[in-house]
Structure 1
Amino acid sequence: MAGAFGFKGCQKIHGPQIRNLLQAKDFFLFDCDGVIWHGEKAITGATTVVNSLIRRGKNVVFVTNNSTRPRENYMHKFYRLGFTDVMLEQIFSSSYCSALYLRDVVKVCGQVFVIGCDGLRTELQEAGIPCVEEEEDQPDATIFTCPLAADVKAVLVGHDDKLTFLKLAKASCYLKDPECLFLATDNDPWHPLSSGRILPGSGSLIAALEVASGRKATVIGKPSRFMFECISSQFRGVDPAQCLMVGDRLETDMLFGSNCGLDTMLTLTGVSQMEEAQEYRNSDVSTNHSLVPDYVVDTIADFIPAFEELEEQSN
């Protein structure tokens, strides 16, 4: 991918270049954490950028690997933080896309064993996907004594802050059946916390289960193409050449954009920084080049002067 203006990767763009990009693109895909908010605080200028794009008639969607909350909860968060023009159909989380995959692609006929939070289960239930009931295991329960559900046709792994060894053991037993699907909402290895500590991500849980089962999970979320296929199925006329993927993580957001044929923009308000992008750009390993962004900005608030220029031109 060469970028819409002929240069590739790790070059910061400013005023007129951002203005031209805004005019050239019809679809803007945003990651959430680290791009438009940190926790319960919107990144400065993010609400102005998102609301301005929507009011200008641009198609704006949000693609997040966070599977811990249903889309309805995301709607409340957007509104709470000032993103008042965002609608439910613009939100594509890995939990929502996992539900669509199970319902519409593989058309699962049976129960799904879920390792994940309540938000993931909610999305599956709203899509009519039957989940194995999560009963309270006895304190002394082991894989030798606990019951296993019948008719489990898929194991789905997402972020689970109540993970137990018994859950992993049950999932491993279900996956002994080669007909049982092994799916993952995402493979993010870790997430940064405001304290400077990190939180293990879904990828760490998947790795444990892949070793135990001897199988590889099918990943639904970024950087898999399926999330873009979900968007294309619900928005008419989505042309990859008219899309810009804006994210903060090279190995997830930039690779997702590259896999889907989208131009990519890295913001420096989240996980990845310029030095890492430059290392990938200069790498002798060709596959690393897919992780290099087409454009770099300090923050999506850098869009605001471009909007002001467009306003002046129209007056």
Structure 2
Amino acid sequence: MAGAVSSKGCQKIRGSQIRDLLDAKRYVLFDCDGVIWNGETAVPGAPEVVSLLKQQGKGVFFVTNNCTRPRENYVQKFSRLGFNDVVQEEIFSSAYCSAVYLRDVAKVQGKVFVIGGNGVYKELRDAGVPFVEEETDVAGGSIYDCPLDSEVRAVLVGYDEKFTFLKLAKACCYLRNAECLFLATDPDPWHPLRGGRVTPGSGSLTAALETATERKATVIGKPSRFMFECIASQFGVDPAQSLMIGDRLETDILFGANCGLDTMLTLTGVSQMDEAEGYKDSDAPDKKDFVPDYVVDTIADFLQAQGED
């Protein structure tokens, strides 16, 4: 099982080794940022890799914790960056999967209060999940006098560039009801930006609310299994025949391990080889699932592998 202690843990592979691995898999799951693109720039060779895998009959899926845009906007981004054969049904974002969870699993009977952006709102609307419409808070207003919606039965926390103390306070009030669900799109603590800067992620906002309410959120995105369960239920994907490729050990690689997938780290994003080897050499058993089965410099290595004997 992926993530277990084995001789292949953290194995740097290339050439025919990559080809043999791909030949043994029917399904390939990609994280997006740091794997197939960085911001608004495609990783060199990534569009050709995706097309090649599809030509070989592989099932290709994209699993991203980024909840800032709806799936239809992801299709536009793929096209803009030169990926011309990606369709909406292959994209599983934390915003989309959160809407699916609320509709099909939780079957929430009431409204959802959202800390998040347009991506979350659009996916909830498309799934037919009622939510409290985004409000423009009155200047100087406080939790003492702001209205609360009596129909709220769930709080969903995602990335929110318009996050305010008042949103946090409202969410706290709703979650005082033990029957109110507490969900998070993803646990990502931060995201890298250009110029070496960072921005707080959904996990940071969720942590604030967890501290304030003394409750723990149910996480929908990676490394939770639910995103893979969404794919498996719709496409009949077998974990034993699947490969998860990501750039972040604590989310992408752990996600693969949690779901029973072989895992591959690509070094074009957040995590690097020394971190992976550090987890491999750790005496802590809970760190072993952060260790990728395989490592490549970039997924463009897949192209070179096809030409080697």
Does TM-score exceed 0.5, indicating one fold?
yes
Query: CA contact under 8 A between 1:155 and 1:183: conserved in structure 2?
Result: yes
2:273 corresponding residue in structure 1: 274
Q: Which residue type is aligned with residue 108 of structure 1?
A: V
Give distance in 2, aligned partners of 1:133 and 1:46: 38
Q: Which shows bigger deviation, 130-139 or 163-172?
A: 130-139
1:111 corresponding residue in structure 2: 111
Is the partner of 1:300 in helix, strand or coil?
coil
Query: CA contact under 8 A between 2:222 and 2:252: conserved in structure 1?
Result: yes
Q: Which residue type is aligned with residue 135 of structure 1?
A: E
Segments of 5+ residues of structure 2 without an aligned counterpart are none
Give distance in 1, aligned partners of 2:55 and 2:19: 16
2:127 corresponding residue in structure 1: 127
Query: CA contact under 8 A between 1:7 and 1:294: conserved in structure 2?
Result: no
2:215 corresponding residue in structure 1: 215
Is the partner of 2:156 in helix, strand or coil?
strand
Segments of 5+ residues of structure 1 without an aligned counterpart are none
Q: CA deviation at 1:133?
A: 1.7
1:258 corresponding residue in structure 2: 257
Give distance in 2, aligned partners of 1:292 and 1:156: 30
Does structure 1 residue 65 correspond to structure 2 residue 83? Answer: no
1:306 corresponding residue in structure 2: 305
1:163 corresponding residue in structure 2: 163
Query: CA contact under 8 A between 1:9 and 1:296: conserved in structure 2?
Result: no
Q: Deviations over 1:207-243 (max 9, x none)?
A: 000010110000000000000000001102x111100
In the TM superposition, 1:201-240 aligns within 5 A as 201-236=201-236, 238-240=237-239
Q: Which residue type is aligned with residue 99 of structure 1?
A: A
Is the partner of 2:288 in helix, strand or coil?
helix
In the superposition, the TM-score normalised over structure 1's length comes to: 0.96
Identity of aligned residues (%): 69
Give distance in 2, aligned partners of 1:207 and 1:108: 23
Is the partner of 1:195 in helix, strand or coil?
helix
Give distance in 2, aligned partners of 1:113 and 1:205: 14
Q: Deviations over 1:37-89 (max 9, x none)?
A: 01111000101101110111100000000000000000000011111111111
Give distance in 2, aligned partners of 1:115 and 1:308: 48
Is the partner of 1:145 in helix, strand or coil?
coil
Is the partner of 2:243 in helix, strand or coil?
strand
Q: CA deviation at 1:164?
A: 0.3
Q: Which residue type is aligned with residue 151 of structure 2?
A: D
Q: How many residues align?
A: 308
Give distance in 2, aligned partners of 1:256 and 1:173: 32
Is the partner of 2:85 in helix, strand or coil?
coil
Q: Which residue type is aligned with residue 37 of structure 2?
A: W
Is the partner of 2:287 in helix, strand or coil?
helix
Does structure 1 residue 242 correspond to structure 2 residue 241? Answer: yes
Q: Which residue type is aligned with residue 155 of structure 1?
A: V
Is the partner of 1:33 in helix, strand or coil?
coil
Give distance in 2, aligned partners of 1:2 and 1:218: 23
Query: CA contact under 8 A between 2:2 and 2:263: conserved in structure 1?
Result: no
2:142 corresponding residue in structure 1: 142
Q: CA deviation at 1:2?
A: 5.9
2:24 corresponding residue in structure 1: 24
Q: 1:303 to 1:119 in 2, by over 3 A?
A: same
In the superposition, the TM-score normalised over structure 2's length comes to: 0.98
Does structure 1 residue 9 correspond to structure 2 residue 13? Answer: no
